[in-house]
Amino acid sequence: MNKLILLLLLSVIASSCSVIRQGEVGVKRKLGKLTNTSIQPGAVVYNPFITTILKVPIRTVNVEINSNLPSKEGLNVGSVISILYRIEADKAASIIENIGMNYEEVLITSVFRSSAADVCSRFFAKDMHTAQRANIEIEIASQMRNILKNRGFEIEAVLLKTIQLPAGLARAVEEKLEAEQDAQRMEFLLQRERLEAQRKLVEAQGIRDAQKVISEGLNDQIIKWQSLEVFKELSKSPNSKIIMTNGSAPFLIEPNK
């Protein structure tokens, strides 16, 4: 009998103690009424017959939603979206009192679907698959913050993880991207040819200018003097040779050995 009483006593003591972990706060409900003060992490003792401890996470929560997003042209784009949010610790009691413990389903996802539909309807379906994707994420998150800013929720980010375009549109987007890449490649080749043509033009102009300078610098006296220099150099050679000249330019003939 004593053992039974002791066992019952230990069970009561165990059921009257709760532990609030890091990343969450506790809210005490006593006789159906919530206390306004959040219980910080640690052990808390309460009367299990009249009191309940509700635990609310205040760390960043990732909720993933599968949704069809409407586009500006009226298409439905399949998507998988992550919403990163957290609860303000001092608003935990207010959230439970006004929304309930199923706040994620009642408020977070509902506000997201409304905001996403409003924002995405201003963009074309292809925009969700291009650089506009980041702008769509930012606008959805901003609109959610405006709605939830006084409700105790902080929206950290909205991430469009997967976008599934309609088959025909997906192929059209791919063809457009391929065409843009081909155009950029062709522009590169044309630019390279233009640079090569400019290089050749500069080279030809340089050769022309050099020849012009040489031709302008030559006259009869210089040519005769150059001829004499040639005769002079030939005369120094020990090899036998026949030199024929008209007096202006030498022609060298080496005899067969």
Inform me whether the pLDDT recorded for 6 exceeds 60.
Answer: no
Q: What is the pLDDT of residue 59?
A: 93
What pLDDT, in 10s, does the model give residues 50-103?
Answer: 888 889 999 999 999 998 888 888 878 888 999 999 999 889 988 998 898 999
pLDDT digits (tens, 9 = 90+) for 203-217: 888 777 767 766 665
What is the CATH code for 61-170? Answer: 3.30.479.30
The residue ranking higher by pLDDT, 45 or 255, is: 45
Give 83's contacts (C-beta < 8 A, 6+ positions apart).
62, 63, 64, 65, 108, 109, 112, 144, 155, 157, 158, 159
Contact 42, 17 (CB under 8 A): no
Q: Where do the domains of the chain lie? A: 8-57, 61-170, 220-253
The pLDDT of residue 249 is above 60:
no
What tokens does 101 get?
């413990």
pLDDT > 70 fraction of the chain, expressed in percent and rounded = 70
Q: Model-level pTM?
A: 0.59
**Cβ(111)–Cβ(144) under 8 Å?**
yes
Measure the CA dihedral 90/92/93/96, to 10°: 160
In whole angstroms, what is the distance from residue 177 CA to residue 142 CA?
Answer: 30
Q: Is the dihedral of CA 54, 107, 159, 134 positive or negative?
A: negative
**Other Cβ atoms within 10 Å of 18 Cβ, number:** 19
Rounded to whole angstroms, how far apart are CA atoms 95 and 154? 13
CA distances from 15 to 18, 38, 46, 49, 226 (A): 8, 20, 9, 10, 120
